[in-house]
């Protein structure tokens, strides 16, 4: 098994464990709110609005309420999964670490150690982020809550991903690509016209354009670069003939 495959495997294992725990608790909490309202009254448009109001309140919990719910969560984790707060912290940090290493697999590992900080993500913050996102989802979809529980896994995953330090990661990619661009300009072989070299040059142009046009660098995968930006000579001739009024092409020889 390759190193990258091993990283993906470890990241998936830790993230899945975290998702299972957070999904179970948030689902339990939302269902409890749902049943409390609808056990008391028949379901009407009015009771649906009451349910939505209860969900909306989650988004404005003060710090004391967040801490109170977190303590309940820790007790529940210990009872159901025999997992302590330290265990949770470890799972979160491993999820972050492996995610970062995958995203920066091509780059110098020393840069990751020096530039990227993923320690210090509090389990309480992760829990609250997940609860807010799930609450918003059910606020927008208050009916048939039992059927929509299966959608929670993706919501939990997306909440977890918000804690990956993408700004620091993109800074490394931006700086490294800038250095590579300078290096390739110094040693560019004009006779090198292979497909891969064309894609590399296109990628550099995309990075350069992103730096000028906006503050945040947009990640573009190699497949996206190939599919969207690479054309054969026949494709270019056809594209030029159909878009002469709107697009100007510059041929570099």
Give Cβ neighbours of residue 168 (< 8 Å, ≥ 6 apart). Answer: 115, 116, 117
* Domains of the chain by residue range: 3-164, 188-242
End-to-end CA, the chain: 43
Residue with the two structure tokens 């990751």? 112
- pLDDT tens digits, one per residue of 188-225: 343 444 444 433 444 443 344 444 444 444 444 444 43
- Cα separation, 70 vs 98, whole angstroms: 25
DSSP 10-77: HHHHHHHHHHHHHHHHHHHHHHHHHHHHHHHS---HHHHHHHHHHHHHHTT--HHHHHHHHHHHHHHH
- pLDDT tens digits, one per residue of 56-114: 999 999 999 999 999 999 999 999 999 999 999 999 999 998 998 898 888 877 767 67
User: Alpha-carbon torsion 193, 197, 199, 200, what sign?
Assistant: negative
Q: Quick one: pLDDT at residue 107?
A: 82
Q: Quick one: pLDDT at residue 1?
A: 62
Residue with the two structure tokens 């947009």? 218
Give Cβ neighbours of residue 50 (< 8 Å, ≥ 6 apart). Answer: 37
Q: Quick one: pLDDT at residue 210?
A: 41
Q: Quick one: pLDDT at residue 183?
A: 52
CB 157 within 8 Å of CB 15? yes
- Cα separation, 216 vs 91, whole angstroms: 29
Q: Quick one: pLDDT at residue 172?
A: 83
- Cα separation, 211 vs 174, whole angstroms: 8
- Number of H helices and E strands in the chain, helices first, is 12, 0
CB 13 within 8 Å of CB 118? no
Tell me the C-alpha to C-alpha distance, in Å, between residue 251 and each of 53, 60, 76, 149, 233.
59, 56, 64, 54, 11
- pLDDT above 80: residue 245: no
Q: Quick one: pLDDT at residue 200?
A: 46
- pLDDT tens digits, one per residue of 116-133: 766 678 999 999 999 999
- pLDDT tens digits, one per residue of 162-198: 999 888 888 888 887 776 655 554 443 434 444 444 3
- Residue 131 CB burial class (10 angstroms; 0-12, 13-18, ≥19): buried
- Cα separation, 127 vs 22, whole angstroms: 7
- pLDDT above 60: residue 13: yes
What 3-state class would DSSP assign to 218?
Answer: coil
- pLDDT tens digits, one per residue of 21-61: 999 999 999 989 988 887 655 667 788 889 999 999 999 99
- pLDDT above 90: residue 249: no
Mean pLDDT of 141-160: 82
Q: Quick one: pLDDT at residue 76?
A: 97
Q: Quick one: pLDDT at residue 46?
A: 81
CB neighbourhood size of 39 (10 A): 7
């Amino acid at each position: 098994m390759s190193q990258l495959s091993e990283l993906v495997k470890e990241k998936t294992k830790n993230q899945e464990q975290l998702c299972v725990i957070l999904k179970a608790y948030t689902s339990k909490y939302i269902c409890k709110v749902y049943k409390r309202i609808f056990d008391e009254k028949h379901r009407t448009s009015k009771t649906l609005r009451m349910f939505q109001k209860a969900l909306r309140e989650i988004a404005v919990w003060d710090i004391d309420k967040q801490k109170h719910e977190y303590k309940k969560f820790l007790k529940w984790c210990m009872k159901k999964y025999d997992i302590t707060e330290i265990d949770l912290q470890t799972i979160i940090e491993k999820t972050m670490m492996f995610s970062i290493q995958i995203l920066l697999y091509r780059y110098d590992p020393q840069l990751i150690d020096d530039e990227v900080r993923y320690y210090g993500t509090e389990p309480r913050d992760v829990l609250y982020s997940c609860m807010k996102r799930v609450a918003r989802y059910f606020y927008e979809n208050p009916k048939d809550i039992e059927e929509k529980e299966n959608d929670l896994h993706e919501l939990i995953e997306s909440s977890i991903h918000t804690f990956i330090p993408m700004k620091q990661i993109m800074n490394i990619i931006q700086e490294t690509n800038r250095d590579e661009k300078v290096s390739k300009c110094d040693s560019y072989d004009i006779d090198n016209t292979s497909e891969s070299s064309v894609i590399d040059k296109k990628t550099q142009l995309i990075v350069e354009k992103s730096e000028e046009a906006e503050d945040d660098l947009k990640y573009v995968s190699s497949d996206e670069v190939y599919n969207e930006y690479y054309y054969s000579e026949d494709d270019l001739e056809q594209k030029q003939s159909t878009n002469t009024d709107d697009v100007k092409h510059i041929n570099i020889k």
